[in-house]
Structure 1
Amino acid sequence: MKNRGILTKIYIALIMVFMYAPIAVLIFYSFNKSRSAAWGGFTFDWYIQLFKSSSIMNALTNTLLVAFLASFFATILGTAAAIGISNLKGKTRMLVQNASNIPIISPDIVMGVSLMLLFTFLGVLFNFEMGFGTVLLSHICFCVPFVVLNVMPRIRRMDSSLYDAALDLGCTPFQAFRKVVIHELMPGIFSGALISFTYSLDDFVITHFTQGARFQNLSTEIYGMLRRKIPPTINALSTLLFLVIIIIMVLINIRDRRAEKRKMSL
């Protein structure tokens, strides 16, 4: 048993090293004064140049704006879709639910090319070019199924009599929906919004096909830089993004633990 426990720990340690060693190297080189792989001294110059770079800052602003708007609208549409699907019955419900999962399991390149063809066709009809609007619509399109996927289990676990009880106690249908249904579904809604934001922030393939010539987000901007030469500012940017994600995860875990302690105390 002891040998098995030691092997398990070694196995987990090797996996962690395999996963995080590249990130550690990236963080290390973000402070390297030299542009080459050789260590040239410690510096914060790449972080200073990062914030002075107008192209990267504009791309970061576009990325965050699209991610916030896409997750916001996708959460509203996905929650409404999940509630609508739950009200269907029989084969119709199964068919619609399976259809909503198709964008999740289909390759990104298929969705990217299909959306590009759609926007190109509509652009010829209505005389517009692809850009911020087409990227936002594309991100909303592939984020909605993730919200549905997170909200549906909460709907299945919710007691349907709670809504009727709220109506019997004097709530209007809107009040009962807001105070009972939305309250019960909030963990799934929050998870769907967070996943939508993460996927929108991370997406490259769909954005690449639907961005047009004038719009750039962070992933496509970095891709353009990598095609020329890897600038050290990319190491600094990646380090900051990694730290932000770690901080968000820690805060979420702290919040969840406090919520569990409150439930235990009650």
Structure 2
Amino acid sequence: MTRGANRLSPFNITALALGLAFLYLPIVILIIFSFNASRLVTVWGGWSLQWYAEFFRDQAMLDAAWMSLRVGATAATLATILGTLAAVALSRGADFRGRTLFSGMLYAPLVMPEVITGLSLLLLFVAINAERGFWTIVIAHTTLTMCFVSVVVQARLGAIDRNLEEAAMDLGCDPVCAFLSVTLPLILPSVIAGWMLAFTLSLDDLVIASFTTGPGSATLPIRIYSEVRLGVKPEINAICTLVVALIAVVIVIASLASKISDARGKSAAPL
């Protein structure tokens, strides 16, 4: 019964193929047409790299791409630091008063609609009379991505034997020294994976950035959206292909880091 149930039936294969086609066929078509020589995005005119060259000559697009990379790197770094500290507090701290409230507030962005998060942050920035620009987008993206980092790091902390930390403290380390010397090297791959996940989410965000951006600080998704409203240009296909390639590289690296973290977690897990 078990072998028969595990075999792929024609129905399962068809459902899997349709699901993958629904998810990835538009991306494949976009990548193919990014090499289209024709200016009309719906007419194939042969293979060409001219739209990639056009992108690198478009200063406005380059500025938006540079803004997205700066925002993503800064927000991911802040989210990684804060998310790791929050994960340590939830995993290693005692059952402190307000733990449930803290945990709920930390994970709220996971389930909260982005439009609500963006609007609430916009009202906050308006209330404190903050000039919207680079740093407001960074704060917004840090708020969005910190919970994802916390989830990844907390999962790895739960798999590590706490006796290793206690042994370090028995040998004279204070809690901070024990964390830096023992715990951090063990969870470092998960921290790196969390950073890459936060960077990818920041690079992809449009909704929250559109609420918190200001003059001269448009990110690449905002710039692409403003261009698409006037019609899809072949240059947009080239830009999106480069973004897909970048995100694919980040995902592969994050996956490798996660596997390394899992292997280290198993080796450090209690027997």
Q: TM-score, normalised by structure 1?
A: 0.87
Identify the residue that residue 10 of structure 1 maps to in structure 2.
14
Identify the residue that residue 244 of structure 1 maps to in structure 2.
246
Aligned-pair distance for 1:132? 0.6
Distance 1:161 1:98 in 2: 29
Identify the residue that residue 269 of structure 2 maps to in structure 1.
none
Aligned-pair distance for 1:260? 8.6
Identify the residue that residue 158 of structure 2 maps to in structure 1.
156
Distance 2:23 2:162 in 1: 44
**CA gap 1:92/1:250 in 2 versus in 1, 3 angstroms:** closer
Structure 2 residue identity aligned to 1:32: N
Contact 2:122 2:211 in 1 (8 A): yes
Identify the residue that residue 100 of structure 1 maps to in structure 2.
106
Q: Which runs of 5+ in 2 are unaligned?
A: 267-271
The 10-residue stretch of structure 1 (222-231 or 89-98) with the greater mean CA deviation from structure 2: 89-98
Identify the residue that residue 235 of structure 1 maps to in structure 2.
237
Q: Which runs of 5+ in 1 are unaligned?
A: none
- The answer to whether 1:120 aligns with 2:122 is no
Distance 2:54 2:28 in 1: 21
Aligned-pair distance for 1:149? 1.6
- Describe how 1:151-230 pairs up with structure 2 within 5 A: 151-230=153-232
1:51 to 33, 45, 56: 56
Distance 1:137 1:221 in 2: 20
Aligned-pair distance for 1:206? 0.6
Q: Describe the superposition over 1:46-92 as per-residue Cα deviations: whole angstroms up to 9, x where unpaired.
A: 01001111011110100011101111111111111222233141663
Identify the residue that residue 111 of structure 1 maps to in structure 2.
117
Distance 1:260 1:80 in 2: 20
Identify the residue that residue 32 of structure 2 maps to in structure 1.
28
**CA gap 1:72/1:105 in 2 versus in 1, 3 angstroms:** same
Aligned-pair distance for 1:254? 5.9
Aligned-pair distance for 1:255? 6.6
Q: Describe the superposition over 1:109-134 as per-residue Cα deviations: whole angstroms up to 9, x where unpaired.
A: 001011111111111xxxx5211111
- Describe how 1:67-82 pairs up with structure 2 within 5 A: 67-82=72-87
Helix, strand or coil at the partner of 1:153: helix
1:40 to 42, 45, 50: 45
Q: % of aligned pairs identical? A: 34
Contact 2:156 2:262 in 1 (8 A): no
Distance 2:27 2:256 in 1: 24
Distance 2:263 2:138 in 1: 39
Helix, strand or coil at the partner of 1:41: coil
Helix, strand or coil at the partner of 1:214: coil
Distance 1:82 1:102 in 2: 15
RMSD of aligned residue pairs (Cα, Å)? 2.6
Structure 2 residue identity aligned to 1:153: A
Structure 1 residue identity aligned to 2:162: S
Q: TM-score, normalised by structure 2?
A: 0.86
Distance 1:59 1:204 in 2: 13
